[in-house]
């Protein structure tokens, strides 16, 4: 561990980049809440603005924002470890067990697409890697991010559609999930809770290959985030500007090109069969690669000419866990029958504008909240239950999500 990250206060650059990632996650989640059930209905009546918004989200946001989020969790782990000192292991284990509980709460009550459960489990595994050398962190991290999509894609090309642990293909499983639409359109909130839990279990069973690629990628991104903190990139961005520029100008075009190949079959309406399905699975690798480009881009911008923008976004980055849960609540309330029941009624343009409005509203809330309180409401509860009573610093927000 270098001294570059130790002894610092909050790092506004990290908070600003986390806020950008949160916006992308909000846009992805609010869209997913609708499209899983009503994609055909939304696409059938889509006009040019809807198609433009949909293409933009698929190409630039879907999968990239959550990759940024996972990477920043690893960054938070490294910062937290450098600032906690003796007793870090027990403290972080409590932190992850509580995050696991928060994830189960989110899954049951708010959103069937929870990411916190996986984060908590991978966070516990990350504890086992904290003594690894920089070379090992970088090598294993890159391998976990880049190799699984190629292995899964090659398997699909060689052996045909991959079946999950329950013997179903992903297509068969998704048809089952679409059948749950009447439950989400209904007003029985407890039925929705049961469906949320059923989805989570079923998704792991029928789309096992995708889940494995995603989960291994999350672990790899955690390791790469820890590697970056140890290298001191965020603590001294100026010294690493050349490195960040290389990442930017390599990963941005390469990731964009592969991401375009990843979405091409969906956009063109090409059946996902044979080598096309396998090649598309391989192209999943473009999502985290493009995310690396985004991380470099916003780190450079927020530490330079965009410093004011980064600082304006920083409060939302500090309340990322609060914002993530609140946006899931808002999305469920707007779309599903226990709330306003607008599932399938809005086009892609409206959905994405809603996501932007939710993000901006939460950003204003975060700025006002931090004028009065030193830490976000959910972050504060998480911290209190962990038993840590020292002053809040960069470690609290950085390790949120």
**CA 103 – CA 176 distance, rounded (Å):** 24
Among 122, 359, 315, 348, which Cα is nearest to 219's?
A: 122
- Mean residue pLDDT of the chain comes to 92
Mean pLDDT over 154-183 rounds to: 88
What distance in Å separates the CA atoms of residue 140 and residue 143, rounded to the nearest whole number?
5
Q: What is the pTM of this model?
A: 0.94
Q: Is the Cβ–Cβ distance between 100 and 117 less than 8 Å?
A: yes
Pick 319 or 166 by higher pLDDT: 319
Instruction: Judge whether 7 lies within some domain.
Output: no
Contacts of 135 (CB under 8 A, 6+ apart): none
In this structure, is residue 3 part of a structural domain?
no
In a domain, residue 287? The reply is yes
Instruction: Name the range with the highest mean pLDDT among 7-21, 76-90, 385-399.
Output: 76-90
With a cut of 90, say whether residue 84 has pLDDT above it: no
Q: How far apart are CA 96 and CA 287, in angstroms?
A: 26
- Identify the pLDDT of residue 3: 34
> 59, 388 in Cβ contact below 8 A?
no
| 224: number of Cβ within 10 Å | 23
Q: What's the pLDDT at 258?
A: 98
Torsion of CA 237, 241, 245, 251, to 10 degrees: -30
pLDDT in tens, 259-306: 999 999 988 888 888 899 999 999 999 999 999 999 999 999 999 999
Residue 269 DSSP class:
T
Domain count, the chain: 1
Tell whether 4 is covered by a domain.
Answer: no
**Distances 90 to 103, 118, 219, 312 between C-alpha atoms, Å:** 20, 20, 20, 34
pLDDT of residue 395: 45
Give the pLDDT mean for 21-34.
Answer: 97
Residue-level pLDDT at 397: 41
Question: How deeply is 392 buried, as exposed, middle or buried, from its count of CB atoms within 10 A (0-12, 13-18, 19+)?
Answer: middle
Annotate 314-342 with b (16+ C-beta within 10 A) or e (fewer).
bbbbbbbbbbbbbbbebbbebbbbbbebb
The two most distant CA atoms of the chain are separated, in Å, by 59
- The answer to whether residue 373 is domain-embedded is yes
3-state secondary structure of 163: strand
Range of the domain at 333: 12-398
- What is the pLDDT averaged over residues 119-147? 97
Burial degree of 390 (CB within 10 A; 0-12, 13-18, 19+): exposed
Q: What is d(CA 292, CA 289) in angstroms, rounded to the nearest whole number?
A: 5
Q: Using the predicted structure, report yes or no on whether residue 5 has a pLDDT greater than 60.
A: no
Distances (CA, A) of 50 to 17, 42, 128, 346, 359: 27, 9, 46, 10, 20
pLDDT band of residue 401 (cuts 50, 70, 90) is: low
* Confidence (pLDDT) at 7: 37
pLDDT score recorded for residue 388: 57
Average pLDDT over residues 85-101: 93
**What burial class does residue 204 get, using C-beta atoms within 10 Å of its C-beta: 0-12 exposed, 13-18 middle, 19+ buried?**
middle
Q: Cβ neighbours of residue 123 under 8 Å, at least 6 residues apart?
A: 73, 77, 92, 95, 96, 99, 222
**Domain assignment present for 179:** yes
170 Cβ neighbours under 8 A, 6+ residues apart? 161, 162, 164, 206, 207, 209, 210
In a domain, 6, yes or no: no
Q: Is residue 2 part of a domain?
A: no
Please name which of 233, 320, 234, 228 lies closest in space to residue 9, comparing C-alpha atoms: 234
In angstroms, the CA 335 to CA 339 distance is 7
Phi and psi of 169, rounded to 5°? -85, 165
């Amino acid at each position: 561990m270098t001294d570059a990250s130790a002894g610092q206060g909050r790092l506004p650059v990290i908070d600003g980049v986390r806020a950008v990632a949160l916006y992308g996650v909000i846009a992805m989640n609010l869209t997913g809440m609708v499209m899983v059930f009503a994609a055909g209905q939304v696409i059938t009546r889509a006009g040019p603005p809807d198609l433009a918004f949909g293409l933009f989200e698929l190409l630039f946001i879907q999968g990239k924002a959550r990759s940024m989020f996972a990477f920043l969790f690893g960054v938070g782990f490294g910062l937290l470890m450098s600032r906690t000192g003796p007793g870090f292991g027990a403290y972080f284990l409590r932190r992850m067990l509580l995050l696991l509980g928060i994830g189960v709460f989110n899954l049951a009550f708010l959103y069937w697409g929870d990411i916190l459960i996986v984060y908590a489990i991978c966070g516990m595994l990350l504890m086992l890697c904290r003594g690894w050398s920089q070379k090992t962190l970088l090598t294993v991290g890159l391998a976990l991010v880049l190799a699984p999509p190629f292995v899964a894609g090659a398997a699909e090309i060689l052996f045909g559609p991959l079946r999950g642990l329950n013997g179903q293909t992903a297509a068969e499983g998704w048809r089952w999930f679409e059948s749950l639409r009447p439950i989400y359109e209904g007003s029985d909130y407890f039925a929705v809770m049961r469906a949320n839990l059923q989805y989570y279990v079923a998704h792991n069973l029928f789309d096992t290959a995708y889940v494995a690629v995603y989960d291994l990628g999350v672990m790899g991104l955690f390791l790469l985030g820890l590697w970056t903190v140890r290298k001191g990139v965020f603590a001294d961005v100026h010294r690493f500007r050349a490195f960040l520029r290389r990442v930017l100008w390599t990963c941005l075009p390469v990731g964009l090109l592969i991401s375009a190949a990843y979405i091409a079959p969906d956009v063109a309406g090409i059946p996902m069969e044979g080598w096309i399905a396998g090649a598309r699975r391989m192209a999943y690798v473009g999502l985290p690669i493009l995310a690396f480009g985004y991380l470099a881009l916003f780190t450079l911008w927020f530490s330079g000419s965009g410093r004011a923008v980064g600082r304006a976004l920083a409060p939302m980055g500090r309340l990322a866990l609060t914002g993530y849960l609140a946006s899931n609540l808002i999305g469920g309330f707007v779309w599903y029958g226990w709330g306003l029941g607008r599932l399938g009624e809005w086009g892609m343009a409206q959905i994405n504008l809603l996501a932007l409005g939710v993000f901006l509203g939460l950003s204003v809330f975060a700025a006002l909240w931090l004028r009065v309180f030193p830490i976000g409401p959910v972050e504060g509860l998480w911290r209190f239950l962990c038993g840590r009573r020292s002053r809040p610093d960069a470690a609290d927000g950085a390790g949120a999500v």
